[in-house]
Amino acid sequence: MFKTYKNDNFNKGFTLVEVLTAILISTVVVGGLMYIVGEANVYLRKQMYRDNVNKYALSVMDEIFKTSINANFINVEASSRIVCGFRTTDSELDSLRIYQFRPNQGILVNGKPLENARFHNKDDNKDYYMQIKEFRGRKTFQGQGFSTDLRDAVIDILLGIELHYTLGDRIITEQFPFKKTIFTRKAAVYNASKEIDE
């Protein structure tokens, strides 16, 4: 004769409470993971936008720096415009490079956008775009205590960019101020004349 053993736990499944608890824990874990992934995505997008602003500003400043150190004449007196003049002889200026800005087009050189810099404007990018809020040059050494040569030799370039982007239903605006000090050709001439005087 075969003996049969009764085991009540062998055929028993999960209770409703255990199933609901597992579902609840899984939901919390998946929700937490989705939140973390979403926040990481938002952070990466914001960082990409900021990096693009920094790259654009760096390209603008480098372009103006390279032009300025080779220019025979630089005028920053006009508001929101920097004029660099070049000449091959001691006579009149041969050519000009005029830097100015349009808020939704970026920095323009002789009326055209910079070739080596990408400006993200409002027309092309509805969810993310830049605007120029400030662009000007100023003489670093101002006032009466400095010679004219020194005042004309060192120039500060100021650039202010406003970044706009959307996060869900919100529109975020961030300000980015940039400044670069440029030593023009006159700085080398001024420095050389000082060495001769000493």
Which residues, 6 or more positions from 82, have their beta carbon under 8 angstroms from its beta carbon?
64, 74, 75, 76, 98, 99, 100, 136, 137, 157
The mean predicted confidence, pLDDT, of the chain is 81
Q: How far is CA 90 from CA 70, 87, 166, in A?
A: 15, 7, 54
Q: What is the pLDDT of residues 32-44, one digit of tens each?
A: 888 787 777 778 8
Q: Coil, strand or helix: which one is 8? A: coil
CA-based nearest residue to 108, from 71, 135, 76: 135
Q: Phi, psi (5° rounding) for residue 18?
A: -65, -40
pLDDT of residue 196: 46
Structure-model confidence comparison of residues 111 and 126, the more confident one: 111
CA–CA separation, 164 and 173 (whole Å): 5
pTM of the predicted model over 0.75: no
pLDDT band at 10 (very low <50, low <70, confident <90, very high): low
